[in-house]
Every structure is written in structure tokens, then in C-alpha cells.
Structure 1
Amino acid sequence: MKHQHFKKIFLLIGICICCFITYAQTLLDSTALEKLSDKDKPALLTQLAERSRINGDYKAAIRKAQLSAALALKFKNLTEAVKARTIQTSVYATTKEFVLSKKASDTTLLLAQQSRQPVAMAYAYYAQALFYNAIDNSEQITKYCRLALKSLEKVSDPYLSAKIYYQLYMINSRWDDVKNVNKYAWAATQNALKTTDYNLLSNCYIALSVAADYNYAGTKKEVFRDSIIYYLNKAQNLYIQHPKYVARKTYGIACINSADYYLRYFADTDQEAKNNAIRYASMANEVMKGAINGEEIRASSLGILSEYARRDKNLVMAEGYLQEAYNVMIGKKVPYYYTLINVVTALSNFYEQNGNYVKALEFQKKATEYGNKLFDEKRTLNAQKLEVQYEAEKKNSEVKLLKQSEKYAQQQKYLYFGIAIASILGLIFMFRSYHFRLRYSLQREKQLHLEKQDAELQMKFEKEEQARLKAEQLLLESQQQQLQKEVMASQLQLEHKKEMLFQIKEKLSDNHQFNINKIWNEELLLDNDFEEAKFQIQQVHPEFFSLLNQRAQQKLTALDLKLCAYLHLKMDTKKIAQLMHIEAKSVRMSRYRIKQKLGLGKEDDLNLFLQNIG
């Protein structure tokens, strides 16, 4: 305990020394400023404005930046004026004065365009990114950061490059894009190492610790966990080595992150981790006492100290830390409601766990009250953001339209000039080419006449060719029909032959059975059955039987199809009766039955119907 007490004393002495150094440095800066001429003052004023900004003294930052810009413009130093206006944009963005931030960023861009210097343009684009960061327009932030980096390809400025990469790192950390968080944190740090801005470098080390935290969460490798505290220690060492150049808030953030690291990643039983967490939380609390806008860090550090007191069953100390955090937060003129809600919620939970339900309810009501105020504040800010974004987009559209109008006017001017020249050249060309065109017209007319004659001859030839092809087609169709009929006739003749053989077989005596059977088998081998004959007919005239079967409303038998084939070949009833070895009456009855199966009426001619199908 004594050892810890001495540590606190030394810490307080260190903070007092830092405050004294800061005060002394302010006097030195004022003295140095007085010695400079008005022409040389803008650069130093810009540095002082940036130092006031990072220390949270926004009024002083605005005042110094305005003076720097005025002097720079007086001596037509547009690049320095752009840098000063960029600081104004940053301060207005931080204090959520969106209209002023937009106005400052637009002025910055206008001055940069007038200067036509790559560095000035890069600062102007960075100022636009700061404004859009204030209104949460990620797409525009990325766009202007890339434009700024593109401008810096022409000239090296590690300081601005580091700030741009740091801005891209913050955007990607919102999206939890681990790859880009690592990429931009490293790029920012590499550029910051080339500068003497130790506060910027300290922030970059904190960014690398956040990247390591992402890496550890994804891989659980201890090397990444160790990297977290390694980079945080580097950030803290910068404050110890260069206290007048590193903001107390930056140091406080590094300390509170270190305390949070030991709280999250080490077991409750790890005494060394506990001591480190308490030490860093105490350092954060002490260093931020009296610092501008340091209440959030103090409240967070007190919350961590309360958590360790609760784990040690020291409820009085745990309550005391939370109450102190609450008093710190409500003591701020414009409270940070988000942190305030966390504090009162922790108090409500603390009292509920210890059975003091009256106080638990009291702080729960306060949490609800602050939650409503936070909601109203967010709603108001969102309305302002939307309004400013609408005005910004409207202005950008107007500027774009003006640029397009200017471009069109310039193009129109060139167009009129070109038309005038083309008109003169055209008249000269028309005058000189008159006779040539006349001669060409006569030649063209003659050529068209010849082409017309060729076309008529070609058309006549095509007609004759078509007539010849049509005649050949008719001849082929006639030959095909004749072949069809010959095939059908041959098939029917085969059918008749088989019928005759059957009759001969029946009339022969049993004594001659063997020889007759031999003849009968040979005849069967020579002749195909009706189905094979039908297939032969279909190869020449495939539509006949298929069309009959399609038209038939009832299934046609083999005899029906045979009779239709005879009728198609225009055989009379008597001949058909002889061929089929039936009476003429049976043929007529079969004709009537086929007409019914085909769905023909009494007045319909079956022969004509079969001829049409053929």
C-alpha cells in the first residue's frame, strides 16, 4: 500500500511538472511569435492552432487558425491559408457545428483550387473528408481521402499522409474490416514516424494496438495479444519523453486502453494483471483531472477501478468510484449522455445486487431520463446532419451544373468557330467540286441503267429456274405416286398369292402333307407378312396407313387396312371379293363398317376419301 501511495505521489508530481512545462512552452511560443514578421507568422500560428485543438482548447484553436489564415491571405500564401482553414474545419466538425464545418471546408477547397498546389489540394480534400466524417457519410470520406492521397503522389508530405491514413483506419474500424484496419494503421504509423508530431505518432500506435486487438479476437494467438500492450506502452512512452508535444487526452486514452486490456484478457486470479489494470486506470484518472474534455476518460477509469473493488468485495470503494464517476460526468456543462448512461446503469445494477432497490430504481430512472435525452440529442444531430448533407449535395449539384454549363458554353464557342470554318471550307469545296459531281452523276446514271438491266436479266433467269424446278418437282411427285401404287399393287398380289396357297393346302390330301408343307414354308420365306408389306408401302407413301389410323374413330383391323388399300388402287367390289375370297356382299358390309370407323356419313364417298388421302 505504501508503495502504491508513493507511485500516486510521483504521478501527481509528474503531472504538475507537465502542466508547468506546458505553461512555459506557451510563454515561449508567444515570445517566438512576437519575434517573427507578419509574413512568417502563419506557419507558427497554424502549429499553435493544431496544438490547441489536440488539447481540446477549441476556442483558442479557432482564434489562432483564423489569425493564421488572415495573415496568409494578406501575403497571398494560399497553401498556409488552406492548412489553417483545415484546422477550423476539424474543430467545427468535432464540436458538431456542421454548417460552419461545411463552410470552412468549401472555403478550403476554393483556396486550394486557386493555388493549384498539390499539397494545398491534398489538405482541401482532407478537410472535405473531415466534414463528411462529422455527418457520417462514409462514401464521401473514402472518396476525398483517396483524392488527397492521389494529390500527394506528386509531392511528399508524411504528416498529412499519416492523418489521411488514420482517417481511413477509423472508417474501416467502424465497419470491423480487419484487413483494412491493419493496412491503414500501419500506413499511418509509417508516415508518422517520418514526422516530429509525437501526438500523431502516439495516436497511430494506439491504432496499431486496436488492429492487434482485432487480430487476437480472430486468431487467439498470444503474439497479437502481447502486441496490444506493446503498442500502448510505446504511445505512453512518447508522452513521458515529449510531454509538451503529446496531448494529455492521448496519453489518457493509451492508459485507459491498457487498463481495459488487463481487465478483458486476464483471469480474476491474476494478481499481476490486476495490479497493472489498477495502475493504468489510476494514471488515466489522475492525468485527466483538470484536462479539457477529459471527463469520459476519467469516468471509464473509475468504472474499471470500481469493477476491481467489487471483485475484492470492497463494496464501499466500488460504490465510491461509481459515485465519483457520476459526479464527474454531471459536472460537465454538456454531458456525454452515452457514458453517463453507462455510469448510472452500473450504479443501478450495483444497488440492485446489494439489495438497495430504492437507489437502484432511482438510478434506473436516471438512466431512462438520460437515454431519452441521448435520443433527443441524436435526433437533433441527425436532423442537422441531414439538412447540412442536403445543402451540401444541393450546392455540389449546383457547382456541377455550373461547371457543366461553363463546359457546354466553351464547347458551344468552339462549335460555332468550327462551324464558321467548316462553312467557308464547304463553300470552296462545293465550288470546286461542282463539275466533278455533275460528271459523276452522269456516270452514276449510266451505271444504274446497266445495273437495272442486269437485275432484270437476273430476275428472268431466276423465274425460269423456278419454273424448271417446279416442273421437275411435279415429275418426281408423279413418279413417286406411280411407284406407290405399284408397291401397293405388288403387296396385294402377294396377299392374294398367300390366300391361294392356303386354299391349296386345305384341298390336298394328307398323303402329300410333307411336300406341300415344304412348298408352303418356301413360299412364306419368299413373302413377308402383311405388316412387313405395310412397312414397304409406308417407306414410299408413309402417310396412307398412318393417316387412316389417325382419322379412324375405332381401331382398324388388318383386313380393314387391306380393303382400304384395294379401294385406294381403284379395284371394284367384284375384284376385291375374288382377291379376298369373300362374297361381294361381305365387301359391301366391310365398306360400310370402315365408313363408320372413319366417321364418314352416308353421303360421303369412301373411294373418294381414300383417293384424297393417297
Structure 2
Amino acid sequence: MKHPIFRKIFLLAITLLTFRAGAQTLLDSTALDKLSDQDKPALLTQLAERSRINGEYDAAIAKARESMALAIKSKNISEATKAYAVQVSVYATTKQFVLSKNVSDTTLSLAQKSKQPVALAYAYYAQALFYNAIDNAEEVTKYCQLALKSLGKKDDPYLSAKLYYQLYMLSSRRDDVKNVNKYARAAAGNALKTNDYNLLGNCYIALSIAADYNYAGSKNELFRDSIIYYLNKTQGLYREYPKYVARKTYAMSCINSADYYLRYFSDTDLQAKANAIRYAGLANEVMKAAINGEEIRASGLGILSEYAKRDKNFIMAEAYLQEAYSVLKSKKVPYYSTMITVVTALSNFYEERGSYEKALEFQKKATEYSNKFFDEKRTLNAQKLEVQYEAEKKNNEVKLLKQSEKYARQQKYLYIGIAIASLLGLIFMFRSYHFRLRYSLQREKQLNLEKQDAELQMKLEKEEKARLKAEQQLLESQQQQLQKEVMANQLQLEHKKEMLFQIKEKLGVAPQLNINKIWNEELLLDNDFEEAKFQIQQVHPEFFSLLNQRAQQKLTALDLKLCAYLHLKMDTKKIAQLMHVEAKSVRMSRYRIKQKLGLGKEEDLNLFLQDIG
């Protein structure tokens, strides 16, 4: 069975790692006054790291800066980069991303100038710490690999353990079981060569988590037993070296041990239950006076609450959860993710017990903390993105600077080559003078010919453009003439049709003329006005469509015919003759068409139709 509170702490174990200057003997602050300025930086860096893991961040920064100043004064660049790395770690832990980036860049710049492999390795490690803080896994991997490559054959097991531990953390985030095992073993193997027991304790926790992954995949009980074996190793280190193993490291191993018994043993196993309760109580007790121990205490209390619920001791289950809630609230800025888990557990507990008002109260708190957690994450993500953008911008500027330096070197070589070439040219100048003169004259003549050819070409292009323009104007003129001719022919056909109607009326009583046959033949020659309109549109396709678009009321075929006559500039009398109506009817039709086209009284229909044409 998994409990969300303590499971989170189980995974949190991968994030706690100490930094030590690499000295092989354990020193105390009382020995500081006995050391020379050259020997002090190593101890100061160790003390700074001890303050950092105990949550005393101001003291850690102060000691790291003192160490860095003394190291630079004595020109010990390797020790200076180690002190800088502690500062980067503190700023990363406290989410001061800008300071973390600035100090890591300063460290890298200092190490690159010194060209010392160990200094470069620590500078790359500082960069990895910064990019780990802003969740850029690709850059963390890159700088860890660069640091390991920079170390080469240099024997620095402490830094190697740190670097492999960083790679192990990245693998655990991706659930990459193969690399989790690989890097956890590499980190522990190097940590065993040092006297940094807190580092070794964290590596043992890493091995226990690797064993947990292995057991989840294989269900082999040997892996399950390895989990508690490595956690016991961490606890043994704390009992043997309490001054040099952080209480938080010990407390997390206890929480993970309690989690181990809770998840892998049945409710009826009284010994497992006793062990889990004992470890949860140890974690809670050891972190009572520790800085930033609230989350671990809440996790321990969560485990105790879980066992109380199993025993049907609901009073104690509630008390443990309420105490966890109070512990988390005592922190100025609570751990919102753990707080959400605790208040949700309280809400579920009260709901199961039928106390719906309290359940609702804590559910509201869960929502409130969820919103705060979201806001906090959003703010942090914005800061990370901003710092990452600035980091990438700065990295690009560095790349451009390096390219500029490369180009400058190339330019320098180029100038040297030019100077040599110029010297050689001077030696042979007199011998080649006449030859170059003749070549210059020929070249000038060739350029003049090319210039003349270009001018001639431009002139031909202008003439060609003028010719094309004239042809286009001619075509437009011919098209306009054709338009008028086609429209006139079509209107003549309409007139012919009207004449045929008159003949039919007059001679309809004389069947011997077979006027109906004549009428049908005439109709075949000129189908109807719609066909005439189609033909007109082949030459003047927009005339009738534009009229219909402008018309506010539908124009009849007779209206369109009258518009065509007016477009051809025929007067009223002529139009009346062609249409076999009185002039008065033509004027009435003109008035009606103006209304359909939406023209005002003062607007001239003839001019309007000419403009459309």
C-alpha cells in the first residue's frame, strides 16, 4: 500500500546531496584559527556546505564567500571554484535563479582562464546545479559529462560521486531503471573513497531507490530486501558519525524505511507494523528542532495516521493528521504539495466519519492550497523561463564572441598573407608594369564596349515596351469598335424581328403567302434577345452584368434592350421607331429604368450608361 505523503518523501531523497571540498580528513570549525590562509579555504568550504545542508543559508553564503576570497588571494583557483559551487547550490536551493546563474557563469569564466582541469570540472558542476534548478535536463547532462571528461585521469572521487549522483537524479525523474542503477552504483562507489559520510548516506538512499525500481519490475525478493539494507546503512552512518551526517538525511532514510514496511508487508505482520511506527516516530522526533523539517515530520505523522486507521483508532488517526496540518502551517511559506495531501486526507477522513461540515471545510482548504500551489508553480516557472531565456541569450552572445575572436584570428592571418603577397608583388612590380598597363587598356576598352552594349540593350527594351504599348492601345480601340458594331448588329436583328411581327399581323389573313413559314425561318436566324445579349457579352462581357448589379429592381429584357440603344447614343425618336412605340413610351421607360438603377433626378441616364460601357 502506498501513502501519498510518505511516498513523496521517498522520492525526495534523490534531491538531498552534500557538497564537500574534497578533503580526506574531517575538520571542525575550532581548527580554523590554527590553519594558514592557504589551508583555510578547504575547511571554510566544508563548513559552508555543512551550514547549507542544515538550512543555514546565510551562514553558508558567508563562509563560501570568505573561502573564495582567500582562495583567489592565494591563487588557488580550484578551491575558489569549489567555494563558488557551494554558493550556486545555495542559490539554486532557495530558488534565486538569477544569482545562481550569475555565480555559475563567474565560476566558469574563472576556470576557463586558469585552464586547470579540476577547476573546470567544478565550474561545469556549478553549471549543472543551475540548470538542474530550472529543470533543463539536457544542459545538466551536458555539463556533467563535460565535468567527467575534464577530470579525466585526475583522482577526485568526491566530485565524481556528485556528478554521477546528478545523472542518477535525472534518470530517476525519467524512470530510466537501467541508468538509475548504473549511476547510483557509480556514485556510491566513488563516495566510498571519500570521508564525506553524508554524501555516502545519500548514495545509499539512491541505491535503495534503485532496488525499489528493480523489485517493482521483477518482484524478486532479493531486491526488496536490498531496499531496507541500504536504508539501514544510511542510519548506521548517522549513528556512527552524527556530526557529519545531516539529520535530514537520517530522517528521510527513516521515512523511507517506514514506507518500506507499510508497502511491502501485510496488516497482520505485527513486527513490520512495529518497525514502521518506530521509524516514522524517529523521523518525526529527529526533525523537531531542525530547520525546514516540517515536510518530513508531516510525512511521518501521515504514516502513523495510516496505521491508526488500520487499527480502527480513529481518534489517533485524526490527531496525527491534525498535528501534521499544524506542523506544515507553522512554516512561513508551507510546502503546498504536502499541505494539499494532508488537508485532502483530513477531508476524506471526516467524510468517512460522517462529519460533512469538517470534510467540506478541509476540502475548501485543499482547493485554496491548490490555487496557491498553482500560483507558486506558475511564478517559479515564469522565473525559470526568464532565467533560461537570459542564459541562452548570454550563451549565444558568448558563442558570437568566440566566433568574432575566430574571425579576428583568421583576419589577422589574412593580413599577414596580404603583406607577404604585397612584398612579392613589389619585387616583381617593375618587370610586370608594361604588361599590366596593356591589360588595363584592354580592360578599359572592353568595359566601354560592354557599357555601349548595355545602353543599346536598354534602348531596345524601351522601344519594345513602346511598341507593345501601342499595340495594346490599338487592340483596345479595335475592341471598342467591335463592341459597338456587334451591339448595333444585334439591335438591327431586334428591329428585323419587330418588322416580322408587323408583317405577320398584316398578312395573317393571306395563308397563300405561308407567312408562318417565313416567320419561323426568321426566328431561326436570330433566336431571341438572350442569345443576342450573350453574343454582345463576348465582346463587352461586363455591360449587362454591371447593369444588373447596379439595379435595385430586376431589369426586364425590354429594359436591357433600351439601355443598349442608349449606350449606342441613339436619340429618342430613333429608338421609338426601332421599338415601334411612341416617343412618350420611350421617355417613360427611361424614367422607370432610372428608378430601377437608383439614379437621382439630376443624374443623366445616357452618361451613366456610357460610363458603364
User: C-alpha distance in 2, partners of 1:225/1:30?
Assistant: 41
Q: Which has the higher contact order (CA 8 A, sep 6+)?
A: 2
Task: Tell me what 2:124 maps to.
Answer: 125
Q: 1:104-119 alignment to 2 at 5 Å?
A: 104-119=103-118
Contact 2:208–2:227 (CA under 8 A) maintained in structure 1: yes
Cα deviations by residue, 1:170-218 (Å, 9 ceiling, x for unpaired): 0110000000000000000000000000000000000000001111111
User: C-alpha distance in 1, partners of 2:430/2:363?
Assistant: 96
User: C-alpha distance in 2, partners of 1:217/1:35?
Assistant: 52
Contact 2:257–2:279 (CA under 8 A) maintained in structure 1: yes
Contact 2:92–2:133 (CA under 8 A) maintained in structure 1: yes
Q: Is residue 241 from structure 1 mapped to residue 240 from structure 2 by the alignment?
A: yes
One-letter amino acid of the structure 2 residue matched with residue 236 of structure 1: Q
Task: Tell me what 1:307 maps to.
Answer: 306
Q: CA deviation at 1:115?
A: 1.9
User: C-alpha distance in 1, partners of 2:119/2:105?
Assistant: 13
Q: CA deviation at 1:38?
A: 2.5
One-letter amino acid of the structure 1 residue matched with residue 313 of structure 2: N
Contact 1:129–1:144 (CA under 8 A) maintained in structure 2: yes
Deviating beyond 4 angstroms after TM superposition, the runs of 4 or more aligned structure 1 residues are: 425-434
Q: 1:64-103 alignment to 2 at 5 Å?
A: 64-103=63-102
User: C-alpha distance in 2, partners of 1:99/1:217?
Assistant: 40
Q: Is residue 260 from structure 1 mapped to residue 255 from structure 2 by the alignment?
A: no
One-letter amino acid of the structure 2 residue matched with residue 176 of structure 1: D
Task: Tell me what 2:366 maps to.
Answer: 367
Q: 1:291-306 alignment to 2 at 5 Å?
A: 291-306=290-305
One-letter amino acid of the structure 1 residue matched with residue 200 of structure 2: L
- Greater displacement, 67-76 / 155-164: 67-76
One-letter amino acid of the structure 1 residue matched with residue 254 of structure 2: C
Task: Tell me what 1:203 maps to.
Answer: 202
Q: CA deviation at 1:431?
A: 8.8
Contact 1:173–1:181 (CA under 8 A) maintained in structure 2: yes
User: C-alpha distance in 1, partners of 2:29/2:239?
Assistant: 24
User: C-alpha distance in 1, partners of 2:55/2:83?
Assistant: 17
Q: CA deviation at 1:39?
A: 2.8
User: C-alpha distance in 2, partners of 1:370/1:241?
Assistant: 40
Cα deviations by residue, 1:234-258 (Å, 9 ceiling, x for unpaired): 1111101111110000000100001
Contact 1:209–1:231 (CA under 8 A) maintained in structure 2: yes
User: C-alpha distance in 1, partners of 2:81/2:183?
Assistant: 25
Q: CA deviation at 1:73?
A: 1.6
- % identity of equivalent residues: 80
Cα deviations by residue, 1:24-43 (Å, 9 ceiling, x for unpaired): xxxx8333112222232111
Question: Where does structure 2 lack aligned partners over 5 or more consecutive residues?
Answer: 1-26, 434-613
Contact 1:118–1:154 (CA under 8 A) maintained in structure 2: no
User: C-alpha distance in 2, partners of 1:282/1:146?
Assistant: 41
Cα deviations by residue, 1:109-159 (Å, 9 ceiling, x for unpaired): 111112211111000000000000000000000000000000111411000
Task: Tell me what 2:170 maps to.
Answer: 171
Change (3 A) 1:426 1:155: farther
Task: Tell me what 2:438 maps to.
Answer: none
Task: Tell me what 2:143 maps to.
Answer: 144
Q: CA deviation at 1:53?
A: 1.2
Task: Tell me what 2:226 maps to.
Answer: 227
User: C-alpha distance in 2, partners of 1:134/1:250?
Assistant: 20
Structure with the greater alpha carbon radius of gyration:
1
Q: CA deviation at 1:427?
A: 6.6
Task: Tell me what 2:553 maps to.
Answer: none
Q: CA deviation at 1:428?
A: 5.9
One-letter amino acid of the structure 2 residue matched with residue 286 of structure 1: E
One-letter amino acid of the structure 1 residue matched with residue 220 of structure 2: K
SS at match of 2:333: coil
Q: Could you state the TM-score of these two structures normalised by the residue count of structure 2? A: 0.65
User: C-alpha distance in 2, partners of 1:430/1:142?
Assistant: 60
One-letter amino acid of the structure 1 residue matched with residue 382 of structure 2: A
One-letter amino acid of the structure 1 residue matched with residue 331 of structure 2: K
Contact 2:81–2:123 (CA under 8 A) maintained in structure 1: yes
Task: Tell me what 1:556 maps to.
Answer: none
One-letter amino acid of the structure 1 residue matched with residue 249 of structure 2: T
User: C-alpha distance in 2, partners of 1:341/1:432?
Assistant: 92
Task: Tell me what 2:338 maps to.
Answer: 339
Change (3 A) 1:208 1:433: farther
Q: 1:266-285 alignment to 2 at 5 Å?
A: 266-285=265-284
User: C-alpha distance in 2, partners of 1:30/1:262?
Assistant: 39
Task: Tell me what 2:581 maps to.
Answer: none
SS at match of 2:312: coil
Question: Where does structure 1 lack aligned partners over 5 or more consecutive residues?
Answer: 1-27, 435-614
Q: CA deviation at 1:432?
A: 9.2
Q: 1:579-598 alignment to 2 at 5 Å?
A: none
SS at match of 1:329: helix
Task: Tell me what 2:18 maps to.
Answer: none
Q: CA RMSD in A?
A: 1.9
Contact 1:329–1:335 (CA under 8 A) maintained in structure 2: yes
One-letter amino acid of the structure 2 residue matched with residue 392 of structure 1: A
Change (3 A) 1:189 1:430: farther
SS at match of 2:28: helix
Q: Is residue 290 from structure 1 mapped to residue 260 from structure 2 by the alignment?
A: no
Change (3 A) 1:433 1:191: farther
SS at match of 2:38: coil
Task: Tell me what 2:154 maps to.
Answer: 155
SS at match of 1:124: helix
Q: 1:563-578 alignment to 2 at 5 Å?
A: none
One-letter amino acid of the structure 1 residue matched with residue 306 of structure 2: E
Task: Tell me what 2:527 maps to.
Answer: none
Task: Tell me what 2:217 maps to.
Answer: 218
One-letter amino acid of the structure 2 residue matched with residue 35 of structure 1: K
SS at match of 1:156: coil
User: C-alpha distance in 1, partners of 2:104/2:302?
Assistant: 38
User: C-alpha distance in 2, partners of 1:118/1:364?
Assistant: 55
User: C-alpha distance in 2, partners of 1:430/1:175?
Assistant: 71
Q: 1:134-533 alignment to 2 at 5 Å?
A: 134-425=133-424
Q: CA deviation at 1:91?
A: 0.5
Cα deviations by residue, 1:365-391 (Å, 9 ceiling, x for unpaired): 000000000000000000100110111
One-letter amino acid of the structure 2 residue matched with residue 298 of structure 1: R
Task: Tell me what 2:40 maps to.
Answer: 41
One-letter amino acid of the structure 1 residue matched with residue 63 of structure 2: K
Cα deviations by residue, 1:396-431 (Å, 9 ceiling, x for unpaired): 111111111011011100111123224444676899
Contact 2:128–2:140 (CA under 8 A) maintained in structure 1: yes
Contact 1:281–1:305 (CA under 8 A) maintained in structure 2: yes
One-letter amino acid of the structure 2 residue matched with residue 175 of structure 1: R
Cα deviations by residue, 1:294-345 (Å, 9 ceiling, x for unpaired): 1111000100000000000000110110011000000011111001111111
User: C-alpha distance in 2, partners of 1:429/1:206?
Assistant: 79
User: C-alpha distance in 2, partners of 1:135/1:431?
Assistant: 69
Cα deviations by residue, 1:31-58 (Å, 9 ceiling, x for unpaired): 3112222232111101100111122211
One-letter amino acid of the structure 1 residue matched with residue 175 of structure 2: D
One-letter amino acid of the structure 1 residue matched with residue 330 of structure 2: G
Length, aligned pairs only: 410
User: C-alpha distance in 1, partners of 2:193/2:52?
Assistant: 22
Contact 1:158–1:192 (CA under 8 A) maintained in structure 2: yes
SS at match of 2:36: coil
SS at match of 1:234: helix
User: C-alpha distance in 2, partners of 1:115/1:167?
Assistant: 25
One-letter amino acid of the structure 1 residue matched with residue 345 of structure 2: A
SS at match of 1:227: helix
Q: Could you state the TM-score of these two structures normalised by the residue count of structure 1? A: 0.65
Cα deviations by residue, 1:63-115 (Å, 9 ceiling, x for unpaired): 10011111112222221111100000000000100011001101111111122
User: C-alpha distance in 2, partners of 1:56/1:338?
Assistant: 20
One-letter amino acid of the structure 1 residue matched with residue 215 of structure 2: Y
Task: Tell me what 2:559 maps to.
Answer: none
Contact 2:29–2:47 (CA under 8 A) maintained in structure 1: no
